[in-house]
Amino acid sequence: MDYVVIIPAAGQGKRMNAGKNKQFLMLEGAPLIIHTLRVFEMDEWCSGIILVGNKNELSDLKEAVNDYQIEKVLKVVPGGEERQHSVYEGLKVVDQSSRVLIHDGARPFVSIDSIHKLVIAAHDSGAAVLGVPIKDTVKHIEQKKVVKTVDRNSLWAVQTPQAFHLSLILSAHLKAAEQGYLGTDDASLIEHAGSEVTIVEGDYLNIKLTTKEDLLFAKAILRERKEHHNN
């Protein structure tokens, strides 16, 4: 079940407010992006990594990949204005796999177990995403008043990786570009094109590091793993 993974890391990290792209924030001795890359470096099913970065950060990314001895990176390519554009730049250079995963550079805690469940689901159906049932009560709000409470039973928070047959996601991206459609994840482009997407239950540890609070959680996870490793 070999796959190539595209890792978009070409954002600005504005909501993290760290004064630089959050991918380069140091966490327990390594930059965030390296923690993410290590998962795929470890996964035997992963045959190669395509890393997408800001044009002016490509050399920093390559340097980090070398310094931390990540060996599966095939290419480091420049991204685009929005995440969707960055992913498309990555998709264009995939050449040796029919199965592709897309995974946020800012999501370092995905488990190999979840990745494998996802890859198997996408193999069967063409498109699959990881997600978890939401825990919060969600209300629809207009002008600071509750319009209604949404039924939580049918709501899931969707994560990455998202896994696809290469031809399916490429044509969905092409179609979206032609129509000027912008989605917040890759699966939405498949949905927009009228195809089905399967959801695979992941776990709540697979957070995206988006705001400062997320760093507290990230550091706690990393420390616990380190203690576990030392005991």
Residues at the interface with Mg ion (CB under 5 A): 11
Q: Residue 6, interface with ligand CTP (CB under 6 A)?
A: no
Mark residues 64-103: x for contact with ligand CTP by CB under 6 A, - for none.
---------------xxxxx--x-----------------
CB 210 within 8 A of CB 12: no
Which of 14, 139, 223, 225 touches ligand CTP by CB under 6 A?
Answer: 14
Residues 127-166 that bind ligand CTP (CB under 6 A): none
Contacts of residue 58, defined as CB under 8 A and 6 or more positions apart, other chains included, come to 76, 78
Which of 35, 51, 99, 104 touches ligand CTP by CB under 6 A?
Answer: 104
- Determine what percent of the chain falls in helix, strand and coil, rounding each to the nearest 5: 40, 25, 35
| Rounded-to-integer distance, Cα 154 and Cα 142, Å | 21
Number of residues that bind ligand CTP (CB under 6 A): 21
Which of 4, 5, 6, 10 touches ligand CTP by CB under 6 A?
Answer: 10
The residue type of 137 is T
Sort strands 3-8 and 46-53 into parallel, antiparallel or unpaired: parallel
Residues 167-226 that bind ligand CTP (CB under 6 A): 208, 210
Q: Residue 126, interface with ligand CTP (CB under 6 A)?
A: no
CB 66 within 8 A of CB 58: no
Cβ-count burial 144-169 (b if 16+ within 10 Å, e if not): eeeeeeeeeeeebebbbbbbbbbebb
Nearest distance, CB of residue 12 and Mg ion, angstroms: 7
Nearest distance, CB of residue 102 and ligand CTP, angstroms: 9
* Residues engaged in binding ligand CTP (CB under 6 A): 8-15, 23, 52, 79-83, 86, 104-106, 208, 210
